Amino acid sequence: MGAWQIEERVEALAARGVEIVDPRQTYVAPDVSPQRVCSGVVLHPGTRLRGARTFLGPGVEVGAEGPATLVDAVLGPRARIDSGYVEGAVLLDDARAGYGAHLRPGTLLEEEASTAHCVGLKHTILLSFVTLGSLINFCDVLMAGGSSRKDHSEVGSGFIHFNFTPWGARGDKATASLVGDVVHGVFLREPRIFLGGAGGLVGPTSVGYGSVTGAGQVVRRPVADGRLVIETLPKLDRPLSVAKLDKLQPRMGRNVAYVAQLVALRAWYQHVRLARVPSGDEHHARRMVLTAALETLDACIAERVTRLSAFVAERGGSMPALQLEPPVPPCPLPIEPGASDHVAWVKGLDAGAVEAGIAWLTGIASAVAAEPAAAPVP
């Protein structure tokens, strides 16, 4: 590939109003469409853009703290990747991944969600404002809680979500965990959650709103709302066969609950978030990013069903009849298309609307594991 071809692609971005700090140290692959990189984007030296899906909205900044590679990444307005490797992830407005980020497919960071340095995410969803510290491995988790950048759920530095269990022939990853939930969390009114650093969470499990897990421990059981949990582990040394299989429950039920929340979140994006985006070219970036978020949710649902199916089959069980496309009743919220940003709109909902919205999403989530109604007898 000739250097002049690379220069042409870089120049095409500059002509669209992209600030390229040092064109000599910026790579744009042939499959990147210039039309998917908006005016106002800033690309620092060491930036590499690859993949036909890559989309950078207005005000995006890449590589401010070091080299950054983006592959099929979708970044909303003013999102930031300080440095690292980002593949297939979606970041909404003002979301930020710090130095040395490693974001893999299935990752979705909503508005102003952020990570500090050296954080690894895969099939992880952080609702608005959720903040992760440094040196964290947080795969296969959905986390919510809080209401603003000053009141948000947080994970302390040095934390791991343990998303692999060794039981069976090869182990499995039917291990996704809910920290908060979707049906309440999307309304940005729930008490924040704090997971103390230098610790971990063994999936699949859940942590309720308003709870704190102390630093320096591994949490191995569900935590209810409003709890302070500090545990010490007993000493254990006994014979073990890794071929041993654990029981279907409670893990199967926890996986079903996780899938149900993802289906509810998909409905939220389809029937609320996208429905509020006005027509017109000036809102093109919002539509592109939200559509990519929907694709990510579909991929997350498929991943969880695949992992659950393998887990159930290895134990000789029957896969629950999940309704992944349940009937969605009309949304009770005032969702006329409007130019106001999503977070401001959510915060402006009155108590009655929030209550109705929670009931609507809860009904969708509940329908995922419900037996389908029998057809009427003719």
Q: Going by C-beta distance under 8 Å and a sequence separation of 6 or more, which residues neighbour residue 184?
A: 144, 190, 209, 358
Res 8: pLDDT: 92
Residues in the chain: 378
| pLDDT bucket at 281, cuts 50 / 70 / 90 | confident
Q: Is 182 among the domain residues?
A: no
Res 336: pLDDT: 83
Q: Is 298 among the domain residues?
A: yes
pLDDT, tens digit, 9 for 90 and up, residues 200-256: 999 999 999 999 999 999 999 999 999 999 988 889 999 988 788 999 999 999 999
pLDDT, tens digit, 9 for 90 and up, residues 177-205: 999 999 999 999 999 999 999 999 999 99
Q: Is 318 among the domain residues?
A: yes
Q: Which residue has the higher pLDDT, 239 or 268?
A: 268
Lowest-confidence region among 298-312, 319-333, 361-375: 361-375
As a whole number, the mean pLDDT across the chain is 95
Q: Is the pLDDT of residue 372 over 60?
A: no
Q: Is the pLDDT of residue 282 over 90?
A: no
Please list the alpha-helical segments (H only) found in the chain.
3-15, 251-268, 284-314, 342-347, 351-368
- Average pLDDT for residues 168-183, to the nearest whole number? 94
Tokens coding 51: 């993949």
Q: Is 193 among the domain residues?
A: no
Q: Please, which contacts does 235-244 make with residues 24 or more away whose CB atoms are closer than 8 Å?
A: 242/166, 242/167, 242/168, 243/168, 243/169, 244/167
Q: Going by C-beta distance under 8 Å and a sequence separation of 6 or more, which residues neighbour residue 64?
A: 42, 44, 80, 82, 83
Strand partners, 28: 49
Q: Is the pLDDT of residue 378 over 50?
A: no
- Average pLDDT for residues 251-264, to the nearest whole number? 98
| pLDDT bucket at 376, cuts 50 / 70 / 90 | very low
pLDDT, tens digit, 9 for 90 and up, residues 348-369: 999 999 999 999 999 999 999 8
Q: What is the separation of C-alpha 126 from the centre of its chain, rounded to a whole number of angstroms? A: 5
Q: Is 221 among the domain residues?
A: no
Domain count, the chain: 1
Q: Is 106 among the domain residues?
A: no
Q: Is 296 among the domain residues?
A: yes
- Average pLDDT for residues 63-92, to the nearest whole number? 99
Task: List b or e across 141-178, with b for residues whose CB sees 16 or more CB atoms inside 10 angstroms.
Answer: bbbbbbbeeeebbbbbbbbbbbbebebbeeebbbbbbb
Res 373: pLDDT: 44
Closest alpha carbon to 76 in 50, 111, 105, 45: 111
Q: What percent of the chain has pLDDT over 70?
A: 97
Q: What is the 3-state secondary structure (H, E, C) of 41-66?
A: CEECCCEEEECCCCEECCCCEECCCC
pLDDT, tens digit, 9 for 90 and up, residues 125-147: 999 999 999 999 999 999 999 99
Domain that includes residue 270, residue range: 251-368
Res 234: pLDDT: 83
Q: Is the pLDDT of residue 340 over 80?
A: no
Q: Is 25 among the domain residues?
A: no
Cis check: omega of the bond before 250, within 30 degrees of 0: yes
Which residue has tokens 């401010």? 64
- Average pLDDT for residues 33-44, to the nearest whole number? 98
Report the distance separating Cα 12 and Cα 27, nearest Å. 12
